[in-house]
Structure 1
Amino acid sequence: MGTPDPSRVYAATAWPLRRTAALARSCHPGPVVAVSALAGALGVGVGLDGVRCALLVAAVLSGQLSIGWCNDAFDARRDASAGRRGKPVADGSVSRPAVWTAAFAAALLCVPLSLACGLLAGTVHLAAVAAAWAYNLRLKATALSWLPYVIGFATLPAVAALTLPGSPGPAWWVVTAGALLGLAAHLGDVLPDIEDDLRNGVNGLPHRLGVTGTALLLPVPLVAASAVLALGPAGPPGWWGAVTLAVAAPTALAGLVLGRYWRKAALAAAVVVAAADVALLLVRGAAPL
């Protein structure tokens, strides 16, 4: 009886591992991890106990996984024709049916996990996930492309507050700031790909505004979110609120000016302001009523 060929053993083992890794990469792991971590931080901020906080994170994680896989599976042909690198479905690293299966499995898992956070919290979260799927399947190519982002970011702190016993509603300024950050996230996410998207028939709000119009609009919701987060709660804004207010507008303006020399300057400035806004949101907490 001969000794197995090590190269064949390695190939048989490595192939499923490569497909699994490709499937993981196709879920948009950066946003999935970032949004799930933000949900956990918001849960801690409103005072959720360990079990409720874990349920909140699990619900958000499953929803974000379903959204990311849906996006990559649906856009596979468009990504391939645009020659975008780092897209596992488009480059054949993982099959489209496998990614669709993962997307639907995560979406089904999201339902009981969301409802375990409470009927109202779960319903709000599932509505946000449904809006994100609608974006992937249709709304991204319409003038309403911004709406699912606004819904998703506005509801995240709301779901954290609603997961508390008694389901207290979030403060108005939390939801408003989340909605503004959602609009900014949409503009910033699409900005680098506007020209490629237009060639492939995508015509959402940023595409209608154009690269220049989107870059000019991008700082507006970010600075507005900074103002709402700093000035919305009762009492003084605190040192972090004052710092955020002081740097938001100048940073955004610098991004616009430097955009003449570096195409991604406006997006980079937006990321800095958004990071300060998110930090301020976490400092303020989701502020249940």
Structure 2
Amino acid sequence: MTADVSPGRAPATSRMTGLVAAAHAGPTLAVTVLAVLLAVAADLGPGRVLLVAAAVLTGQLSIGWSNDLLDLQRDRRSGRTDKPLVSGAVPVGLVRAACLLALAACLVLSFACGVAAGAVHLVCVAAGWAYNLGLKSTAWSWVPYAVAFGCLPVFVALAGSTTPPWWWPVGGALLGVGAHLLNVLPDLEDDAGTGVRGLPHRLGERWIAPVATVVLVAATAVVVVGSSPPVALAVAVGVVVGGLAILVVGGRGRLPFFAAIGIALVDATLLVVAR
């Protein structure tokens, strides 16, 4: 077990860096940016876009911090010194306080977008917390991602007092499942050592990228069918996604993983620009 480092010995800048890292900055930023792009695509005004961004950011921060707090003992046992709480780069009390503050802010900001919109966004956040609280270790680990990514476009649309087209939540849910499968891939060994057995772990490293590709290609098809883009654009998307899918199935090394990420980026772009 790694000993705690006294919070008083860590410079303020180091603690802030650790706090950001413990929030899973990459995924937090990615989801927030996706929400902003969806808000812009839904023609929300600048003030509304900022409100949506703030609600999503605080919700994602609470999910990220709760993840590291709940996994602290597991991360210590597996020697995850890259984790700020394990290395002592940031005090546990500071992360706990930040998590609760973010959750409270998310509650206020979400309902500031409207009662219906706020309720939907809290479902998104609750799904993330449910994943952290135990669903990540079950065969149902994909459900929180499907719910959160499927509800996110609904929240954005309701924040603008409109309803989203059917393919926004369906495409978002499929994108979320694909993202879950790919996101777990780099941590398979560490997770195996600590007893985490979500859907990706049950599939195994060999099948994660191919299954993720099937899901992501399905998301592409849903968005293309739903948005009915010009034929030339639909053909171009089909060629790009088809080529990437071939690389996933036939590629070697890390190529299948990066090709699957490419399909996810195409899906996210389509979800935003195709209306």
User: Common fold, TM-score beyond 0.5?
Assistant: yes
- Moved segments of 4+, more than 6 Å: none
Alignment of 1:74 with 2:70, yes or no, is: yes
Which of 224, 227, 252 lines up with 2:221 in the alignment?
227
> How far apart, CA to CA, are the structure 1 residues paired with 2:25 and 2:235?
33
Q: In the TM superposition, what are the counterparts of 1:236-251 in structure 2 within 5 Å? A: 236-251=229-244
Structure 1 residue 241 displacement after superposition: 3.4
Alignment of 1:104 with 2:100, yes or no, is: yes
Alignment of 1:212 with 2:191, yes or no, is: no
Number of the residue aligned with 2:152: 156
Give the SS at the match of 2:139: coil
Q: Is the 8 A contact 1:76 1:96 kept in 2?
A: no
Structure 1 residue 284 displacement after superposition: 1.2
> How far apart, CA to CA, are the structure 2 residues paired with 1:119 and 1:79?
38
Which of 248, 259, 283 lines up with 2:273 in the alignment?
283
1:33 partner letter: L
Give the SS at the match of 1:232: helix
Alignment of 1:194 with 2:188, yes or no, is: yes
Cα-Cα RMSD: 1.7
Q: In the TM superposition, what are the counterparts of 1:56-75 in structure 2 within 5 Å? A: 56-75=52-71
Structure-2 change in CA distance of 1:13 and 1:140 (3 Å): closer
Number of the residue aligned with 1:267: 257
Give the SS at the match of 2:168: helix
Question: What 5-or-longer segments of structure 1 have no aligned partner?
Answer: 1-11
Give the alignment's TM-score, normalised by structure 1. 0.88
Residue by residue, what CA displacement relative to the aligned partner does 1:258-279 show, whole Å, maximum 9, x if unpaired? Answer: 23xx1x3222111111111111
Give the SS at the match of 2:88: coil
> How far apart, CA to CA, are the structure 2 residues paired with 1:71 and 1:24?
13
2:237 partner letter: T
Number of the residue aligned with 2:179: 185
Number of the residue aligned with 1:22: 18
Number of the residue aligned with 1:123: 119
> How far apart, CA to CA, are the structure 2 residues paired with 1:269 and 1:84?
28
> How many pairs does the alignment contain?
268
Number of the residue aligned with 1:33: 29
Number of the residue aligned with 1:253: 246
Structure 1 residue 14 displacement after superposition: 6.9
Number of the residue aligned with 2:44: 48
Q: Is the 8 A contact 2:32 2:53 kept in 1?
A: yes
Structure 1 residue 79 displacement after superposition: 2.2
Structure-2 change in CA distance of 1:173 and 1:192 (3 Å): same
Structure 1 residue 151 displacement after superposition: 0.8
Give the alignment's TM-score, normalised by structure 2. 0.92
Q: Is the 8 A contact 2:10 2:89 kept in 1?
A: no
Structure 1 residue 127 displacement after superposition: 0.9
- Greater displacement, 176-185 / 89-98: 89-98
Structure 1 residue 249 displacement after superposition: 2.5
Q: Is the 8 A contact 1:79 1:90 kept in 2?
A: yes
Q: Is the 8 A contact 2:123 2:151 kept in 1?
A: no
Q: Is the 8 A contact 1:150 1:178 kept in 2?
A: yes
- Greater displacement, 250-259 / 275-284: 250-259
- Greater displacement, 120-129 / 13-22: 13-22
Question: What 5-or-longer segments of structure 2 have no aligned partner?
Answer: 1-7
Structure 1 residue 236 displacement after superposition: 4.0
Q: Is the 8 A contact 1:231 1:237 kept in 2?
A: no
> How far apart, CA to CA, are the structure 1 residues paired with 2:269 and 2:209?
23
